[in-house]
A and B are shown apart, each in its own frame.
Chain A
Amino acid sequence: MAIAPPERRLWWKEPLDKAEIIWITIAFLWGIVMFLAMIYWHIVGEQNLSNEAYRIDPEVFAAKAEEMTEKYQVREEGDTGIPVVHPPPGSDVYLISRLWEWWPILELEKDQSYRLHLSSMDWQHGFSLQPTNINVQVHPNYDLVMTIKPNEAGTFSVVCNEFCGIGHHTMVGRIYVTER
């Protein structure tokens, strides 16, 4: 019994049943398949998180975002005063996260690539692109750079999904994707 010492002192010399050997082999091979699947996806898959990240001061990041916004602002969002920015395809795009907003609103073109920079001005935040459902963690002092390529046009929301204090549930941003 499992609550008593093993009956045979040399339990590590017990022979194995065939069924057990088969199951252990299947389980081991399945582990290898799942391991290789991740590597395979890096080679052929299109959804891989970038490994590119830099240390950055929040002020420096904010200055870059403001510079981009000044250059490429096309309008304001309704009466909210939030700038809507339409950066050229292929360019570096900065999205600030801070208590409790995503700034500015981005307008991107379908099937074009952008280098999206994410960093926080204060606490950690969660970049959750909805309804697409892509989720990436945003840290202060780190600039995460990922190349994104929107594959559908429409209005998308950026929900914060890392708890960031009492206003957390109001922290919603927006990304527009337009047809070319």
Chain B
Amino acid sequence: MAANTAFRTCPDTGLKVHLPAQALIKANAVAAVVFLLLGGLFGLFVALTRWPEVHLLPAESFYAVLTAHGMDVLLFWIIFFEIAILYFASAILLNCRLAAPWLGWVAFILMLVGAIIANVAVIQGESSVMFTSYVPMKAAPHFYLGLILFAVGALIGVGIFFATLVIAREERTYEGSVPLVTFGAVTAAIIAVFTLASGAIILIPTFLWSLGYIAHIDSMTYKLVWWAMGHSSQQINVSAHVAVWYAIAAIVLGAKPLSEKVSRSAFLLYILFLQLASAHHLLVEPGVSSEWKIFNTSYAIYLAVLGSLIHGMSVPGAIEAAQRGKGYTRGVFEWLTKAPWGNPAFSGMALSLVMFGFLGGISGVVMGTEQINLIMHNTLYVPGHFHGTVVAGTTLAFMAITYLVVPLIFQRELLVPKMAQWQPYVFGLGVAGISLFMMGAGTLGVARRHWDITFADSTLTFDYPGAAFLMLGLNGIFAIMAAVGGAMYIVVVVASILFGKRREGAGEPAPQPAEPPAGAAVGSYGNAGTLHLPGTYVLVGVFFVAFVLYYFINWKYLSEVWPLS
């Protein structure tokens, strides 16, 4: 079969790389980066408009740009990249051919055309309905059409991933169980099916409604089903970027999971419970009972949070174990101080892990508490939270793995390595600021999706506290920093892909091929009885204390507002 000849062997990892899969990975990754550039630029405009002293855009463009920003980065950048990850985690990691590459191109073109149509619809100005497009506010029909095409394309991509897993099993291209990273990708893909199907279920009727074929769509029903897409798409991200954390730790440091059983069980908890979190968006809505809210918003007793807390220990634990195995055993933290902080893949992953936990994770659980949501719903706290998850968490993790994808898949050496080295820090610090200051402004009550917090054109006016203005100014400054970090990423990636030195044959490998840690340090399976990881215990302890304190502080805030029942 022709497929047998369409392979090359990766000189760094020894993996067999299916060339049609490689081409699809490249195409999806490039499309992702283009939409990151576009969406990121829109994001900068949003932040500069929110900065009261700058107030860059007029109201009409602000709302259009805000709509496009959400759509481009939250859907297009991330899902294009995730499709690339799915092809990588199936075809490449399993040494297998990709199922039906032609269909992969059909999927890619559907997604690309859909994304372009949706962007055109928003830029035309008739579809400034925000990313959420809550009915009965109506967008132009082609806005919905674009999103539907994109979702169908992505769904096909996910189908190809599953088909590839079947082929790999049939053709016995690997031994035993799939690697943990692939397991994480399976988790993401299962959630993606649920997500994209929900999107189709709600967007198709909405499209027909916008054309006049359906008279009425209930606003609560819309919201319930829409968030089964809107929030679940963020759960694809969580699963995918956790898989990326494990992948980077493995490729850069040779880290192995402390326990395959624990890490895989944590992914299983995601599959079973993570989607319930769509309820986070319905906590202050009419017509939904408290029982329903409590069960769903807590992912059935916080079982998906349990999954994340487990990864929160097992990822740094795997790194610590690998580092100690290499002899960095002095004190509690030598393994951490001697980590490869100059390698952008590692530093990006580490920052992503820490910020996802402290900024995105804690705030998400707190905000998702039924009653506490009353003091946060639709304030700037919400975008503050999800810039901690999706930008500091997912986007930074995806940027980090790009620094491995460029040499391994694009077979180019990184150009301007100094800039690459600094990029995760500049972007990470910028995003941390964005996230924190928006959460701060939200705590002071500032509304999200709001063009003018001075209420200059209102009949009745209101003054937010001065601190809120300060927060939005700082948000603007950090947004500029994040934009610089984003631009550095794009410069490095584009320059390397276009002009980087070709890496052919078994040349000098840019990322160090992983050396398995010395046998004595980590047992061949699990970490039972092999090694203590004091550094990880301390880090996890600090995180847990911060979590508990912040959780109860917000109950205190809540207890001070007007009684209501």
Contacts and interface: CB of A to CB of B under 8 A. Distances in A.
B287 interface: yes
A58 B11 CA distance: 68
Contact of B176 (A9, A123, A160): A9
Interface string A1-40: 1111111110111111101100110111011101101110
A5 B529 contact: no
B458 A171 contact: yes
A131 B445 contact: yes
Interface string B388-420: 000000000000000000000000000000000
Interface string B252-266: 001111111111100
A76 interface: no
B371 A49 contact: yes
A146 B178 CA distance: 52
Most buried by A among B134, B314, B526, B563: B563
Interface in B1-21: 13
A25 B551 CA distance: 19
B559 A141 contact: no
B137 A164 contact: yes
A136 B314 CA distance: 39
B309 A23 contact: yes
Nearest to B551: A34
8 contacts: A3-B250, A6-B260, A23-B309, A124-B136, A151-B562, A161-B447, A166-B60, A172-B455
B5 to A, nearest CB: 25
Given A31-B305, A172-B461, A149 B564 contact: yes
B460 A174 contact: yes
Given A20-B262, A49-B374, A5 B177 contact: yes
Contacts of A166: 59-60, 63, 128
B406 to A, nearest CB: 17
Contacts of A172: 455, 458-462
A130 to B, nearest CB: 5
B450 A34 contact: no
Contact of A133 (B134, B262, B302, B375): B375
B490 interface: no
A2 B369 CA distance: 34
Given A3-B250, A140-B136, A34 B306 contact: no
A46 B371 CA distance: 10
A150 B218 CA distance: 32
B260 A14 contact: yes
A64 interface: no
B259 A20 contact: yes
Contacts of B220: 139, 142
Given A16-B528, A134-B375, 15 more contacts: A1-B179, A3-B247, A4-B250, A5-B175, A14-B261, A19-B532, A20-B258, A34-B302, A45-B559, A80-B460, A135-B284, A162-B378, A168-B451, A171-B458, A172-B458
B289 interface: yes
B56 interface: no
B533 interface: yes
B218 to A, nearest CB: 7
Interface in B296-337: 298, 301-303, 305-306, 309-310, 313-314, 318
A163 B179 contact: no
Would you call the interface of chain A mostly helix, strand, loop, or mixed? mixed
4 closest Cβ pairs, A-B complex: A31-B302, A161-B447, A53-B286, A157-B462
A48 interface: yes
Contacts of A150: 562
Nearest to B370: A38
A35 B255 contact: no
Given A47-B561, A51-B290, A135-B284, A141 B219 contact: yes
Contacts of A80: 459-460
A168 B371 CA distance: 26
Main secondary structure of the interface of B (DSSP, over half): loop
Contacts of B305: 27, 31
Nearest to B294: A38
Contacts of B561: 47, 132-134
Contacts of B378: 126, 128, 135, 137, 161-162
Nearest to B307: A27
B28 interface: no
B102 interface: no
A169 B450 contact: yes
User: Which of B254, B318, B462, B537: most chain A Cβ within 10 A?
Assistant: B462
Contacts of A123: 134, 136-137
A67 interface: no
B447 A126 contact: yes
Given A14-B528, A133-B445, A2 B563 contact: no
B298 A169 contact: no
B287 A53 contact: yes
B450 A1 contact: no
Contacts of B548: 30
A34 to B, nearest CB: 6
B525 A142 contact: no
Interface string A100-113: 01000100000000
B563 A14 contact: no
B302 A35 contact: yes
Interface centre among A2, A39, A49, A169 (most CB of B within 10 A): A2
B44 interface: no
B193 interface: no
Contacts of A87: none
A43 to B, nearest CB: 12
B526 A15 contact: yes
A49 to B, nearest CB: 6
B252 to A, nearest CB: 11
B41 interface: no
Contact of A147 (B177, B255, B565): B565
Contacts of B309: 23, 27, 30
A18 B137 CA distance: 54
A79 to B, nearest CB: 10
B261 A23 contact: no
A70 interface: no
A17 B370 contact: no
B93 interface: yes
A50 B298 contact: no
Contacts of A27: 305-306, 309-310
A164 B284 CA distance: 17
